[in-house]
Chain A
Amino acid sequence: AQTVTQSQPEMSVQEAETVTLSCTYDTSESNYYLFWYKQPPSRQMILVIRQEAYKQQNATENRFSVNFQKAAKSFSLKISDSQLGDTAMYFCAFMKLPVGGTSYGKLTFGQGTILTVHP
């Protein structure tokens, strides 16, 4: 079974600064996806960024980038130029790739990190 650990229950950052959220995972799989989802106070679950494990290049989406260290099983999220709208709970999630014709399965989530951006 896979486990995802987010060791920072809460983080805060000043507007326009950079913050990094940590995530580690445990799996015996070699092919998988990793994701960061954002849950603002509106409680929507919004996909921030995703990374395929077979890709060595770190994913980037505008102000959001990841540092994917496969050997260390680490997947951190860096938010640059933080904005007030980035205030949310951030979840790291893991999904293994299907094998043998089975469908893609579930996402396994970490416990989340509450990020507060201060003006």
Chain B
Amino acid sequence: DSGVTQTPKHLITATGQRVTLRCSPRSGDLSVYWYQQSLDQGLQFLIQYYNGEERAKGNILERFSAQQFPDLHSELNLSSLELGDSALYFCASSVDRPPLHFGNGTRLTVT
């Protein structure tokens, strides 16, 4: 068990809808990262937060947004969902130095 908790484990929704994925980092970890894993794109970095502030942005679509709250948990919001957004979404955390510890992921299926 990595200590990183992601909810829900599975999510099935329709095109055009909006969903929120949640992540609780390991105790003491200030950095949270979001990754998307799909068959065609592999593991893609989306965004990083450190102690509530955005630190780095990757290939995150404008329809997606994230935030990190004062208690350090993070949420990834995906809106106007398309079929191509179906993927496994990982959250990872660290104390701001390697390694990153990954959660078990949220499997999103858009129908």
In the complex, chain B residues whose CB is within 8 Å of the CB of A43: 88, 104-105, 107
Binary per-residue interface labels of chain A (15-51) against chain B in the complex, 1 for a CB within 8 Å, 0 otherwise:
0000000000000000001010100001111110010
**Interface residues on chain A, number (Cβ under 8 Å):** 23
Of the four ranges (under 10, 10 to 19, 20 to 34, 35 or more), the interface on chain B belongs to: 20 to 34
A109 close to B55 (CB less than 8 A): no
Distance between A55 CB and nearest chain B CB, rounded to angstroms: 13
Given contacts A103-B31, A104-B31, contact A47 B45 (CB under 8 A): no
Report B-chain residues with C-beta under 8 Å of the C-beta of A109: 42-43
* A interface secondary structure, majority: loop
Q: A95 interface residue, CB < 8 Å from B?
A: yes
* A106 contacts B48, C-beta separation under 8 Å: yes
Write the nearest CB–CB distance from A15 to chain B, whole angstroms: 27
Give A residues with C-beta under 8 Å from B: 33, 35, 37, 42-47, 50, 91, 95, 102-112
Known: A43-B105, A46-B102. 15 other contacts (CB 8 A): A35-B99, A42-B104, A44-B2, A45-B92, A46-B2, A47-B100, A103-B48, A103-B96, A104-B94, A104-B98, A106-B33, A106-B48, A109-B42, A111-B42, A112-B43
Residues of B in contact with A (beta carbons under 8 Å apart): 2, 31, 33, 35, 42-43, 45, 48, 50, 55-56, 58, 88, 90, 92, 94, 96-102, 104-105, 107
**Which 6 A-B pairs give the minimum distances between C-beta atoms?**
A45-B102, A109-B43, A106-B45, A33-B98, A103-B50, A111-B42
